[in-house]
Amino acid sequence: MKAGQTHGANSIFQQPWWLEAVAPGQWAEVTCERDGATVARLPFVVRGRPRMRMLTQSSLTQTLGPWVETSPAKPARALAHEHELLAELESKLPKAIAFSQQFSPSMLNGLAFHWAGYRLEARYTYRLHGLRTTSDLWAGLRDNVRREVRKARKRVEVVEGLGVDRFHDVLSRTYERQSIAIPHSLRELERLAEACETRDAGTMLFARDEAGQIHAAVWVVWDRNGAYYLLAGAEPNLRTSGASSLLAWEAIERAGRHTDVFDFHGSMLQPVERFFRAFGAQQTPYLSVTRMSPALRLALSARGALFNLAAHG
């Protein structure tokens, strides 16, 4: 599948090079053209065989969804134009048994999809603004986070360039502690890291003590629209050192050299939400947009009924 050449985007996740790195040969897009220029686009990742095709996004991508060029018209007319472009994008999507994406917080207008029979649900991420004023950001941290950062500075140093394999190892241990299989292979992370490094689009940070032990690691990526707390992990036996808080703070500081927005990459899990909120980040909504064919919905309903019958039979 050929990668599109347009670059209008709400986030790094919609850039063609990112899509090719996280879903090589498995993505495409639909576009709207006006006077020879692309004014709207909707990229997607294709899963499954042709008759069971699903349009979705990569697990290494927080949000995808449509990008629409900003209109200079008055609000009512601009919104009508946006409805028109979104409806056109939706109508151009290839036939599929399911569509499932999370739209960027910059695209909260999902009415055209709702009118076309899609289901819209609100989800939340946490965002910091004004990254270049670090004194204000530091003041916005909860007291316990500031204490954790100060404590960690006495125990570890923050370093870069230890390699994707070291990062993958730390991430694997994090998932092992939760008895969950790591969802990202080393090859997947290597491919994305190479694409980001070529474009100076992020960094991996490690917290290392004097004995050479890695306490925690974080991967932050960025473009001019924002920075994103992509992945993070911690050594299970060293989680009390405060290294995770220190790395999050260091990631915010480094991101401020490239953009003015830091997105904690969202989570609806209560403990994770609590950690992100403690950095003074603002709760920011985004849309989860889904649609299933009647046949798929019936199949899933039947599978659920069989599961319940087996569980209670």
Q: Is residue 6 part of a domain?
A: no
Q: Is residue 281 part of a domain?
A: no
Q: Are residues 72 and 30 in the same domain?
A: yes
Report pLDDT for 3: 37
Q: Is residue 20 part of a domain?
A: yes
What CATH number does the domain containing 159 carry?
A: 3.40.630.30
Q: Are residues 186 and 230 in the same domain?
A: yes
Backbone angles phi and psi of 282, in degrees to 5: -90, 135
Q: Are residues 87 and 159 in the same domain?
A: no
Q: Is residue 150 part of a domain?
A: yes
Cβ atoms of residues 200 and 223 within 8 Å: no
d(CA 67, CA 105): 11
Report pLDDT for 309: 45
Q: Over the stretch 227-254, which tens digit does the pLDDT of each residue have?
A: 999 999 999 999 899 999 999 999 999 9
Domain count, the chain: 2
Q: Are residues 254 and 291 in the same domain?
A: no
Q: Are residues 100 and 135 in the same domain?
A: no
Report pLDDT for 239: 87
Q: Are residues 159 and 41 in the same domain?
A: no
Residue 188: enclosing H or E segment and its boundaries? helix 186-198
Q: Are residues 37 and 95 in the same domain?
A: yes
Segments forming the whole domain that contains residue 138: 131-259
Which candidate, 160, 161, 171, 155, places its Cα nearest to that of 213?
155
The beta-carbon contacts of 181-186 under 8 Å, at least 24 apart in sequence, are 183/59, 184/59, 184/60, 184/231
Q: Which of 259, 277, 296 marks a domain boundary? A: 259
Q: Is residue 185 part of a domain?
A: yes
Query: What letter would DSSP give residue 103?
Result: B
Q: Is residue 278 part of a domain?
A: no
Q: Over the stretch 98-114, which tens digit does the pLDDT of each residue have?
A: 999 999 999 999 999 99
Q: Over the stretch 61-72, which tens digit does the pLDDT of each residue have?
A: 989 999 999 999
Q: Are residues 113 and 147 in the same domain?
A: no
Low-confidence spans in the chain with pLDDT less than 50: 1-6, 306-307, 309, 311-313
Q: Is residue 272 part of a domain?
A: no
Q: Are residues 108 and 155 in the same domain?
A: no
d(CA 99, CA 42): 12
What CATH number does the domain containing 26 carry?
A: 3.40.630
Q: Are residues 244 and 149 in the same domain?
A: yes
Task: Kindly report the pTM of this predicted structure.
Answer: 0.90
d(CA 28, CA 39): 17
Q: Is residue 273 part of a domain?
A: no
Which candidate, 281, 269, 158, 150, places its Cα nearest to that of 228?
281
Q: Are residues 97 and 149 in the same domain?
A: no
Report pLDDT for 272: 87
Sign of CA dihedral 105, 106, 112, 116: negative
Report pLDDT for 304: 59
User: Strand, helix or coil at 263?
Assistant: strand
